[in-house]
């Protein structure tokens, strides 16, 4: 690696840190996973640190003699400065720097080395971005590059938390969450669902799966609007439908306007025109954001969501749908690509600390069975989707297969719930207005029997 004078480093600190580890080998395990040999500026120091880590991992003694022997065995002793240099480093912390606060002093050396390494990484990232900007690369690609790589540079610092701090952190979370009652998350608008999940909670990846025309987009839009009604800021990435089409659906469901009329305004009655105006007035108040660019790769979804949260606030994301998320450009099979996409979506939920609801089309295997109720196995590339999701919801309507227009019943199965119960929620679907509604068990049973009209 080419050294540059303007890059930050502290060679004295590096030597002192290595001297402390050689004299206090019990400290090595504290830093083995937090500091890498590449974090050292001086190549010789990196070699010595790598030798210390090898010895410790092999449960061998860590001292000056052992380090010299290990470096000689790997034919790197001369590159590391020879016996004289190892001896000098071993003596570097003796006797003035070794004392009652050795652990604290070693920790401080570690922090300085890591801070310098992170600053160097940041410098290189921005230098690369600047070079690519001069070459004419588009701005969004450059910003995505920086946003993807800067967190990686920052994440070199250890994120481990000790048990004392963890206890305090959990206590604070407990008090804050308990005050919110039985539904600490964002309310879905469906009471039975909220009772089982506690609402849409932070850092949660929710997959909503269904066959085509089951109503998954309508249900997801109902979730989004219900969250907006409670003051939440929601961003919908509509990779299949346009923003106008989604707005028409909102007008239909919230204004009880015939969905076919909402898409052909000339068919709307004066009463429907008035209802649409009322809904539009509410849209002006809600914090609903729709991005309808097609085939967005997950990196751009992440980037735009991060920008939205920073600039205007963001409490929840809905993505319609998983199968339309674009490729990042690499040629690989869809299963491997899906593995990366779902992992990135889960990472997005964790970093932004918001719930992310992702729609997913189920495989055709459902159609070949007598029992059409979906299962987890019906998720396309089901292994990776099921693995990364915290909650998997599967939507089913009998009427889709029976063609019985009077049957308004729908079922929402919680097929997976990482932190809670599974089960089935009964809903009512109003196809004319593309709206799902919560129902109690008695009402649902009546609807199933056909005793209650649409």
CATH number of the CATH domain containing 409: 3.40.50.300
> Do residue 331 and residue 290 come from a single domain?
yes
Residue 149 has pLDDT above 70, yes or no: no
> Do residue 185 and residue 75 come from a single domain?
no
**Exposed, middle or buried by CB within 10 Å (0-12, 13-18, 19+), for 79?**
middle
> Do residue 233 and residue 360 come from a single domain?
yes
240 an active-site residue?
yes
Q: Is residue 70 part of a domain?
A: yes
Band the pLDDT of 177: cuts 50, 70, 90. confident
> Do residue 321 and residue 386 come from a single domain?
yes
pLDDT digits (tens, 9 = 90+) for 243-262: 999 999 999 999 999 999 99
Q: How far is CA 6 from the centre of its chain?
A: 35
Q: How many domains does the chain have?
A: 2
Dihedrals phi, psi of 198, to nearest 5 degrees: 75, 20
What pLDDT shows up at residue 380?
67
Q: What is the CA radius of gyration of the chain?
A: 29
Q: Is residue 293 part of a domain?
A: yes
> Do residue 141 and residue 235 come from a single domain?
no
Residue 13 has pLDDT above 60, yes or no: yes
What pLDDT shows up at residue 451?
42
- Minimum mean pLDDT range among 124-133, 370-379, 383-392: 124-133
Residue 452 has pLDDT above 60, yes or no: no
Residue 2 has pLDDT above 90, yes or no: no
> Do residue 281 and residue 199 come from a single domain?
yes
3-state secondary structure of 436: strand
Band the pLDDT of 146: cuts 50, 70, 90. low
- Minimum mean pLDDT range among 149-153, 299-303, 426-430: 149-153
Residue 266 has pLDDT above 80, yes or no: yes
Q: Is there a contact between 214 and 427 (Cβ–Cβ < 8 Å)?
A: no
> Do residue 226 and residue 263 come from a single domain?
yes
Share of the chain above pLDDT 70, in %: 86
> In which region does residue 269 sit, left (phi positive, over 0), alpha (psi from -120 to 50) or beta (all else)?
beta
Q: Is residue 328 part of a domain?
A: yes
Which own/partner pairs from 409-413 qualify as long-range (CB within 8 Å, at least 24 positions apart)?
409/444, 409/447, 409/448, 410/215, 410/436, 411/373, 412/190, 412/193, 412/219, 413/373, 413/374
What pLDDT shows up at residue 6?
66
> Do residue 217 and residue 282 come from a single domain?
yes
Q: Which tokens sit at 154?
A: 């920052």
Share of the chain above pLDDT 90, in %: 53
Largest Cα–Cα separation, the chain: 93
- Provide CB contacts within 8 A for 205, sequence distance 6+: 342, 345, 346, 349, 355, 356, 358, 388, 389, 390, 391
- Rounded Cα distance between 115 and 262, Å, is 57
Q: Is residue 168 part of a domain?
A: no
For the chain, the first-to-last Cα distance in angstroms comes to 72
> In which region does residue 66 sit, left (phi positive, over 0), alpha (psi from -120 to 50) or beta (all else)?
alpha
What pLDDT shows up at residue 454?
34
Q: Is residue 170 part of a domain?
A: no
Residue 369 has pLDDT above 50, yes or no: yes
- Rounded Cα distance between 235 and 305, Å, is 8
Q: How far is CA 102 from the centre of its chain?
A: 39
Q: Is residue 167 part of a domain?
A: no
What pLDDT shows up at residue 449?
47
Residue 65 has pLDDT above 70, yes or no: yes
Provide the CATH number for the domain around residue 94: 1.10.860.10
What pLDDT shows up at residue 142?
62
> Do residue 238 and residue 121 come from a single domain?
no
Residue 32 has pLDDT above 90, yes or no: no
Report strand pairing: 316-320 vs 233-238: parallel
Domain boundary among 139, 154, 169: 154
What pLDDT shows up at residue 241?
93
Which among 240, 386, 411, 432 is annotated as catalytic?
240
Task: Give the mean pLDDT of 366-385.
Answer: 82
Q: Report the mean per-residue pLDDT for the chain.
A: 85
Residue 46 has pLDDT above 50, yes or no: yes
> Do residue 339 and residue 389 come from a single domain?
yes
Residue 382 has pLDDT above 60, yes or no: no
- Minimum mean pLDDT range among 127-141, 225-239, 262-276: 127-141
Most confident of 97-101, 315-319, 349-353: 315-319
pLDDT digits (tens, 9 = 90+) for 283-341: 999 999 999 999 888 888 988 998 899 889 999 999 998 989 988 765 567 777 888 88
Q: Is residue 182 part of a domain?
A: yes
Report strand pairing: 316-320 vs 205-210: unpaired
Q: Is there a contact between 255 and 278 (Cβ–Cβ < 8 Å)?
A: yes
- Rounded Cα distance between 203 and 205, Å, is 7
Range of the domain at 84: 11-154
Q: Is residue 454 part of a domain?
A: no
Band the pLDDT of 1: cuts 50, 70, 90. very low
Which of 378, 376, 399 is CA-nearest to residue 389?
Answer: 376
DSSP state of 365: G
Task: Give the mean pLDDT of 207-219.
Answer: 94
> Do residue 376 and residue 269 come from a single domain?
yes
> Do residue 208 and residue 90 come from a single domain?
no
Residue 174 has pLDDT above 60, yes or no: yes
Report strand pairing: 205-210 vs 409-417: unpaired
Report strand pairing: 423-430 vs 287-291: unpaired
């Amino acid at each position: 690696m080419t050294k540059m004078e303007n890059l930050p480093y502290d060679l004295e600190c590096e030597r002192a840190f290595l001297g402390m580890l050689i004299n206090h080998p019990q400290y090595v395990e504290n830093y083995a996973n937090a500091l890498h040999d590449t974090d050292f500026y001086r190549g010789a120091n990196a070699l010595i640190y790598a030798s210390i880590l090898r010895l410790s991992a092999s449960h061998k003694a860590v001292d000056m003699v052992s380090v010299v022997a290990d470096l000689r065995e790997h034919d790197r002793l001369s590159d590391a400065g020879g016996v004289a240099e190892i001896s000098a480093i071993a003596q570097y912390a003796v006797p003035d720097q070794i004392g009652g606060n050795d652990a604290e002093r070693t920790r401080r050396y570690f922090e300085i080395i890591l801070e310098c390494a992170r600053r160097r990484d940041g410098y290189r990232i921005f230098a690369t971005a600047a070079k690519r900007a001069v070459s004419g690369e588009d701005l969004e690609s450059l910003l995505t590059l920086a946003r993807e790589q800067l967190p990686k540079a920052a994440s070199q610092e250890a994120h481990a938390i000790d048990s004392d701090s963890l206890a305090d952190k959990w206590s604070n979370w407990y008090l804050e969450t308990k005050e919110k009652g039985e539904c600490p998350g964002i309310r879905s608008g469906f009471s039975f669902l909220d009772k089982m999940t506690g609402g849409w909670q932070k850092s949660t990846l929710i997959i909503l799966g269904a066959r085509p025309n089951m109503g998954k987009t309508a249900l997801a839009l109902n979730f989004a609007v219900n969250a907006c009604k409670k003051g939440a800021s929601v961003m919908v990435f509509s990779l299949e439908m346009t923003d106008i089409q989604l707005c028409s659906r909102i007008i239909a469901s919230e204004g009880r306007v015939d969905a076919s009329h909402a898409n052909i305004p000339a068919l709307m009655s004066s009463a429907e025109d008035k209802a649409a105006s009322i809904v539009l007035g509410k849209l002006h108040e809600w914090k609903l954001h729709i991005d309808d660019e097609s085939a967005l790769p997950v990196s751009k979804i992440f980037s735009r969501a991060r920008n939205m949260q920073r600039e205007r606030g963001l409490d929840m994301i809905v993505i319609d749908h998983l199968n339309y998320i674009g490729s990042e450009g690499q040629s690989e099979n869809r299963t491997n690509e899906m593995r990366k996409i779902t992992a990135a979506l889960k990472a997005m939920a964790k970093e932004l600390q918001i719930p992310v609801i992702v729609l997913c089309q189920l495989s055709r295997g459902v159609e070949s069975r007598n029992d059409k109720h979906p299962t987890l196995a019906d998720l396309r590339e089901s292994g990776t989707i099921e693995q990364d999701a915290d909650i998997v919801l599967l939507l089913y309507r009998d009427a889709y297969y029976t063609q019985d227009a009077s049957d308004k019943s729908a079922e929402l199965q919680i097929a997976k719930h990482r932190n809670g119960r599974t089960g089935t929620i009964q809903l009512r679907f109003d196809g004319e207005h593309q709206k799902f509604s919560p129902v109690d068990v008695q009402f649902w049973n009546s609807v199933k029997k056909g005793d209650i009209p649409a």
